[in-house]
Structure 1
């Protein structure tokens, strides 16, 4: 038994060392950034020509934190001008649109430069700089659409329209009387794909989005809403500004002072250059198909995404297994006879039950957002994305495996407990020597299944912008404008991963089962198997 405890202690020490190592690495990285004077800019890096992701640092791109990719675009060039004035190096924190505000308020980024309008609702949470660009609102639709010649707001009656989630654009659809407001979408790449596939008739956006998309798809047209009678929009809603955390007046003043030095002519030049340099579709040659071209451009990103997915799934499952093992054992401890121990055990069991119910009863995506942004917001602990993701997957997996292992312990035949007790074993001895080896072996298929689930479920961590496989695939799709082929390729990679790992664990399970053609010895008389009897006949 001492040997078992020794090995358990070694394994747990290694796992704790991994977590501590990740945390220290994160803290050292953040400290290095602070010492070197960096300016952390939050943006989607997925909204050309304002911002996009690219595999190289060509055309003045800046690095994206936590990845081997770079960000470029109009917003990036504005950020570089601000960084130069402040004598700071610009680093982009690639963040989903709905995560930008919590990232700023929690201190994970210094500025939001992402084509964001300073609406009244957003001003309640953060401060905004002076505008750095003014836009016109349009409905982007296909040239062949019957809504392409709309002259009045009522001409969109019956049109299936949408806009980006969490933006004013979606609210503007209400002014188009009779239009069917489809569910809002996360980003413009999704809306472009929906328009191309015909699932929507159009989407509300800014004129610059039309210029960007028209550059790669000449079959679309923009219907100007600002020129239509009755269309109303506030000034603040038609401009884009830079988001600054409330209370940081010094940085806000420095940003405004920098923006005043950038003339309108210079801003137009930057936007024209961004439109010219933005990713374009159809770059594959006749000799190379799309898959070959994509792999040449984004192969490194894809392999990095696969590695991150496997890391999160593997470490999360291993750590989650030990969490589940500990919780499962504690929840099956017999009730003590003494009152104090009984009360303490009941409290511990209740707390563990709460943990299991919470993490089994809430989506991992919600858990990720709460843990990643909540810890920074309330405890001022700025976790690295990878560390946060490992913690999230581990505790989520632990909650599920706790019930699996508890079920494995409970399902062990009662005779095993009775036989061990008859031999004079204590509860701990029965558990470690008799019950757990059988329970864990019986639970192996469920543990394997949880590992497979984790490989797929890591995709929800895109909510905190972890560069796993799905997040990388979304980036590639938005840059290459090849949505269906990209997601088909990503799904094929997921299938290969899960299929391979399933077969590996099936092999392990068969090896653990041992040779079924065995002989039993009883009272010096050999008892053979049915196959032996057939052979003798």
Structure 2
């Protein structure tokens, strides 16, 4: 009987795992013929940004209903046209650009990236297609607003973007209070507006854009002798491609055919065309900023909310199923046969490893390892959404297995003994006696996991899943209204978690049958009083 139960559990486990498994294909075969897949943040105006339509020549973003525009997009369009390929924009987090390129998920990085010596160790870079200068963005009302040299920022709290040379050059400021690097420019702008930092290092197009859309911020430019000292390649922007890519020579030839005055014209036009500039020029001063953000990005937020709910509900459901299967397996009596006992213990050890690994590591790390690591190690391309479903499911399964174990132990031991005494098999006992009680016991904890998953799906932005936080960050990077945008996202998250909690409490109440139990308890109290 134990063998049959074990077989059923293994079959169910395989089925549940199959439901959560992402669709895969060979990385070498995933690029359709005639396409050029370009990775960018689509949130670093004026180099690249996200908008809701195709005005000003914007290009559709793969897997999204939004469009990407900006200087990088215009350069990418020229490269793709000259190569007779269709341009495909793959919206990718900054930290994920190089892993996405190395793993073959994109063909090129055109995202305002400088060809630093460290990056050249990992990928090849083309000739530069833009050259800028470093500036510091600060608040107009701060004491640093009149600075003319780096020395004037002595004692200031300054930061820069993570994994960029912008952060490294901060050390050139005398007595600077170097702050922790931040993931993206929207985060730095929020920190600056809130007073957490005194300034951040960026490039001149970023500074021009900030000044145009936010009158409270100011760009500080320096004379060559008074500013940052850097290598020429540090202020250049190039196309990143995989090591030894044969298309590099063709890309360089195309870039060489774009004269300097045309590049300047493209950048000037990008600064004018970016959504934040257009909105500042055309917006009604009497219109509430929150209302304007919702009007402009409502559908983007709605799609992000739908993706968040899909990931949270699917992940919690499948994870609970995995937890129940593991819990049932762990409750199996020890097999009498030596071989069966050995297999049972071996499988138990594998389950313990799975639980400890996924409970002991952050989901953001698991996401990067599974999504990018598998592609780099085995050449397997995981569908982004399916990979996210898989990651949330197996992460939740590890936690739910321990919750189910506690739920099984919460059932009175006498019920196990009574079921065995009347001749029930282990399977019958679990199905008809134990698991119904376990499901009720773990319902509050399961609801808590659902709430956690609704919030924790935000870490999946590392693999560029278009969930709510990722969409909100893109909107903030485009409209420069950071507090208002994140406030809206915060409210949406609260509504989701509050609604989920209330619905689960209704389910708990339904399962409890409170009125019947209350009458029984009152009757017991009356009997005790008579005694």
The question of a shared fold, defined as TM-score above 0.5 by the shorter chain, is answered with: yes
Residues 518 and 529 of structure 1 are in contact (CA less than 8 Å); yes or no, is this contact kept in structure 2? Answer: no
- Give how far 1:439 is off: 1.2
- Match for residue 190 of structure 1? 187
- Matches of 2:182 and 2:171, distance apart in 1: 16
**1:74-123 deviation per Cα after TM superposition (whole angstroms, max 9, x unaligned):** 00000000010111111111111111100000000000001111111100
Answer yes or no: is the 8 Å Cα contact 1:49–1:271 preserved in 2: yes
Partner of 2:359: 360
Q: Is 1:174 the counterpart of 2:168 in the alignment?
A: no
Matched with 1:323 is 322
Whether 2:143 is the aligned partner of 1:143: answer no
Supply the distance in 2 between the matched residues of 1:382 and 1:528 (Cα, whole angstroms). 62
- Alignment partner of 1:106 out of 103, 106, 109: 103
How far residue 219 of structure 1 moved from its aligned partner, in angstroms, is 4.3
Deviates more, 1:147-156 or 1:236-245: 147-156
CA distance in 1, matches of 2:301, 2:291: 13
- Which range moves more in the overlay, 193-202 or 268-277? 193-202
Query: Which residue of structure 2 lines up, in the alignment, with residue 241 of structure 1?
Result: 238
Deviations 1:422-449 (A, max 9, x none): 1112222222221111112211111111
Give the drift of 1:191. 1.5
Q: 1:213/1:519 Cα in 2 relative to 1: closer, same or farther (>3 Å)? A: closer
Question: Judging changes above 3 Å, is the alpha-carbon distance between structure 1 residues 467 and 520 closer, same or farther for their aligned structure 2 residues?
Answer: closer
1:283-333: CA deviation from partner (whole Å, max 9, x where unpaired): 542564223322222111111011000000011111111111111222222
Distance 1:231 1:285, change over 3 A: closer
Off by >4 Å, runs of 4+ in structure 1: 7-20, 26-33, 518-521, 530-534
In 1, the alpha carbon distance for the partners of 2:137 and 2:285 equals 31
1:266, distance to aligned residue in structure 2 (A): 0.8
**1:471 match:** 470
Distance 1:59 1:416 in 2: 71
Within-5 A mapping of 1:436-447: 436-447=435-446
CA contact (8 A) 2:158 2:199 kept: yes
CA contact (8 A) 1:137 1:226 kept: no
Give the Å deviation of 1:242.
0.5
Are 1:498 and 2:497 matched, yes or no?
yes
Given the alignment of the two structures, is residue 529 of structure 1 paired with residue 523 of structure 2, yes or no? Answer: yes
Cα deviation for residue 230 of structure 1 reads: 8.2
Note the residue ranges of structure 1 that are not aligned, 5 or more in a row. Answer: 522-526
Match of 1:93 among 90, 93, 103: 90
| Number of equivalences | 523
Distance 2:100 2:322 in 1: 29
Q: Is 2:137 the counterpart of 1:126?
A: no
Partners in 2 of 1:16 and 1:194 — Cα distance?
42
| Aligned residue number for residue 291 of structure 1 | 290
Offset of residue 511 of structure 1 = 1.1
How do 1:309-320 and structure 2 match up within 5 A? Answer: 309-320=308-319
Aligned ranges for residues 212-223 of structure 1 at < 5 Å?
212-223=209-220
Distance, in Å, in 2 between the alignment partners of 1:308 and 1:230 is 45
User: Is 1:271 the counterpart of 2:295 in the alignment?
Assistant: no
- Partners of 2:180 and 2:52 lie apart in 1 by 32
| 1:348 corresponds to | 347
Distance 1:149 1:515, change over 3 A: closer
Partner of 1:48: 45
What TM-score does the superposition give when structure 2 sets the normalisation length?
0.92
Within the candidate set 245, 250, 254, 2:250 is matched to 254
- CA drift of 1:144 comes to 3.4
Q: In 2, Cα distance between the equivalents of 1:317 and 1:27? A: 26
**Do residues 34 (structure 1) and 28 (structure 2) align?**
no
- State the 1:28 CA deviation: 12
Between 444-453 and 292-301, report the one with greater CA deviation. 292-301
**Kept after mapping to 2: 8 A contact 1:368/1:464:** yes
Deviations 1:464-523 (A, max 9, x none): 1111111111111221221111111111111111111111111111111125436999xx
RCO higher in structure (CA 8 A, sep ≥6)? 2
SS of the residue corresponding to residue 334 of structure 2 reads: coil
Partner of 1:80: 77
**Deviation at residue 231 of structure 1 after TM alignment:** 4.4
Aligned to 2:415: 416
